[in-house]
Amino acid sequence: MTTSEGHMPEATDEHIERLKENMEKVEQLSKRLIEVMAGKKAHTPALDGPNQELFARAATAYWAEAWQNPAKLLEQQIEFWGKSVLNFAEAQQALTTGEVEDEDAKPADKRFSNPLWESNPYFRLVRQQYQTNAEAIAQAVASVDDLDAKDRRRLSYFSQQIIDMMSPTNFLPTNPDALQKAVETDGQSLLQGLENLVADLEANDGELVVKLADESAFEVGGNLATTPGDVVYRNRMMELIQYKPATETVFETPIVLFPPWINKFYILDLKAQNSLIKWITEQGYTLFVVSWINPDESYAETGMEDYIRDGFLAAIDEVKKICKVKQVNAVGYCIAGTTLSLTLSLLKQRGDKSIKSATFFTALTDFSEQGEFTPFLQNDFIDGIEEEVTREGVLRSWIMGRTMSFLRSRDLVYGPAIRSYMMGETPPAFDLLFWNGDGANLPAKMSVDYLRGLCQRNEFVSDGIELMGHKLHVKDVDVPLMAITCETDHIAAWKDCYRGVQQMGSRSKTFVVSESGHIAGIVNPPSKKKYGHYTNTDMKADSDSWMKQADFHKGSWWPMWEAWLKKRSGKQIPARDTGDSNHPRLAPAPGTYVVANPNS
C-alpha cells in the first residue's frame, strides 16, 4: 500500500475484519466519553461566544444595505452561485474523464497539502466549495458598513472562527489524511484518537482542552527550570527565588524579575541553551525571580493591590535586606510589567526610591487600542467572566488558555486536535508547548480589577487608577527604563507598548523592538543568532515614523540590555550565596509554588 501518489490504500477482507474489531473497542471508549461528559462542570455560557446582539446588528446592517443597494447583494449572490456550479461541473467532468485540470496558482494552505485535495474529484470539490463558501462569508462581512469599528472587528474575528471551524479537515469523512491512516492502521488510529480525546476530557473535568505537548516528556525541576537557586522567602502570594552566582564577583545592585502570573516563570528557564535566568547569572548579576502562587477559590478577594503589596513591594523589600542595598533593578514581563509600572507610580508618590531602573518586557500600559483582544474585551465577554469568577472564585486557567489559543486557532486548536483525535498521534515533546499548557488560575477580584479598570476604562493613562490609597498614573513612572517589545507580538502589540512608554515621565528611555513574537522575541539567546532588533532614540515620533527611522541590529537584544544594565548596577563585589541568617533556604529552585496544583 502506498499513499505517496495521493491514492487511497486498498482495503482487503483481513483489514476490514481488523477494522471491525477496532470499531467494537470504540464502543467501550464511548461509554467513558458519556461518563465524563455527564460529569462536566458547568461554566458561564457567555464565555463561549459573543452576545447574539452582535450578529443581530450585523444582519440588520447587511439587509439594510441590501435594501438600499440590491444590485450589490445580487452581484455577490450570482458570483457565489456561479463558482458553486463551476465547482460541481468540474467535479462531474473529472469523474467522467478521470482527469483533473490544473488550477491557477493560489496561496499555499497547509491544511490542504495532501495530493488528494487536488487529484481526487470528491476531495477537490469539497475543498473548492469550502473555499468558495469562505470567500462568500468574508465578502459579506466586509460589505457590512453600518457598524462601529469595534463591532466590525469582532464580526470579522468571529466569522473567521466559524470559517476555520467548518474546514473540511476538521471532519473525518472529509479529511483524506485521517481516512488514509484509518485504513492503513485498520482503524487503530481512530481508536487511539478517541482514547486521546477521552483522556483530555477526563483531565479537564469534561472541558475540551487540546493537549499540545507530551507531558510525560517533561518535569519542572527535572529537565526544565534547572538553573541552581533557592527559595529564600515565601508568603501567600509568591516564592522569592535567589539564583546561585555563576561568577566570582557580581555587581552590587541586584536584579529582581517579576514574570506574569498568567503562566509560570520558567518560560525564562526552559533549558540551559535558552535560559535568560542562567544567562543573567553568567553575566555577573545577583538575580531574584518571583514565582507566583497558583490561586484557588480562597483567593477570590485577592486584587491588584495584593499583587503589588505582597508581591512587588515584599520582594523588593526582602531583596534589599538580603543584599544589604538601598536599591534594586526591576524587570517586569507582560502583565507583571504593567503592574511594575503601577508600583513605580506608587513608589514615586510615596517618595520611595527603591527601584534604580526598570525594564519592561512586552508590557502594556495604554489600552486605548485593544488589538487582537478586541473581540474579548467588550461587555458581553467581561460580564460573562465576572459572572464566572463570582461563582468560582477564580478565572480557571483553561478559560484564559482557550482564549489565547483561539487567537491562533488553526495552529493551536484545530491542527493539534486533528493530529491527536483523528490521526491518533501523541503530541510532540516540545518544551515551549508544555509550558504553554501549564497555566495558572487568576483570582476573581484581580481579574475584574484588571479587565475593567485597565483594559476597558484605561484608567492608568487617563484619570488615574485608584489603588492602595493613591491615584496612580503612567506619568509618575520616572526611573531610567528600557522597554523590550516584539515585532509580531499578538498579545502586547509593540505599537501599543510604545504609546504607553511615550507617556511615562522618565528622562531616560530606551525602546527596543525585537523580531518575532511575545515569547520568541524575548527568549532569544545570543548563541542562536536568530532574531535581530530595532532601536531609535527619538521617542517623540509616532510609532510608524519611529520604525522607519530605526536602526536594525543583527542578533539578540540581550547583550545590549546587559550593557545598559551594567551602567546602573554599581561596583563589583564578592559573589553572594543564597539567603542569609534571616532568610533560610526554604526549598531548592524552582520551588514549590510552580508545581502546586490547586485543582487536585
How does DSSP assign 483-518, residue by residue? EEEETT-SSS-HHHHHHHHHTS--SSEEEEEESS-T
| CB count in 10 Å sphere of residue 550 | 18
How does DSSP assign 216-262, residue by residue? GG--BTTTBS-S-EEEEEE-SSEEEEEEPPSSSEEESS-EEEE--SS
Q: Rounded to whole angstroms, how far apart are CA atoms 405 and 436?
A: 10
Q: Which residues pair with 242 in a beta bridge?
A: 230, 288
Amino acid code (one letter) for 264: K
Q: Which residues contact 322 (CB under 8 A, 6 or more apart)?
A: 232, 242, 576, 579, 580, 583
**For strand 587-588 and strand 465-467, is the pairing parallel, antiparallel, or unpaired?**
unpaired
Question: Could you list the active site residues?
Answer: 334
Best CA proximity match to 570, nearest among 277, 339, 327? 327
CB 284 within 8 A of CB 251: yes
Q: Is the dihedral angle over the CA atoms 213, 219, 220, 221 positive or is it negative?
A: negative
Q: Rounded to whole angstroms, how far apart are CA atoms 75 and 412?
A: 36
Q: Which residues pair with 467 in a beta bridge?
A: 470
Task: Dig out the grid coordinates for 241 from the structure.
Answer: 527565588
Which whole-number Å values give the CA distances from 212 to 145, 193, 215, 219, 400, in the listed order?
39, 14, 9, 16, 15
CB 586 within 8 A of CB 234: yes
